[in-house]
């Protein structure tokens, strides 16, 4: 992995961490969705060699997975 990709991945992770701290009043499901999108975007970028389509696709898939995980956690809490 070249240095530009490493810098990009680091910037995305830092941005995601800072934005998560700023959104402390989000529901668990919203937070899980945002975390999933951030992690998916980084993973998509790394796996596709830094392509925009890979990053966007990874973020979309990660967001959906995070949303569903949050949904299941909400169901478990209500029981």
Q: What is the pLDDT of residue 20?
A: 67
CA dist., res. 5 & res. 9, Å (int): 6
Q: What is the pLDDT of residue 9?
A: 84
Please give the structure tokens belonging to residue 23: 């959104």
Q: What is the pLDDT of residue 54?
A: 92
All residues at 6 or more sequence positions from 10 whose CB lies less than 8 Å from its CB, including other chains:
none
pLDDT in tens, the chain (79 residues): 578 888 888 888 888 777 767 666 778 888 888 889 999 999 999 999 889 999 999 999 999 999 998 877 767 766 6
Domain residue extents for the chain: 3-78
Question: Using CB atoms within 10 A of its CB, is residue 31 exposed (0-12), middle (13-18) or buried (19+)?
Answer: middle
Q: What is the pLDDT of residue 1?
A: 56
Contact 16, 62 (CB under 8 A): no
């Amino acid at each position: 992995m070249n240095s530009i990709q490493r810098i990009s991945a680091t910037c995305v992770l830092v941005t995601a961490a800072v934005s998560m701290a700023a959104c402390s009043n989000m529901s668990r499901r919203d937070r899980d969705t945002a975390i999933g999108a951030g992690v998916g975007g980084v993973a998509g970028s790394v796996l596709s060699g830094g392509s925009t389509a890979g990053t966007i696709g990874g973020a979309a898939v990660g967001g959906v997975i995070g949303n569903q995980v949050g949904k299941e956690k909400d169901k478990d809490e209500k029981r």
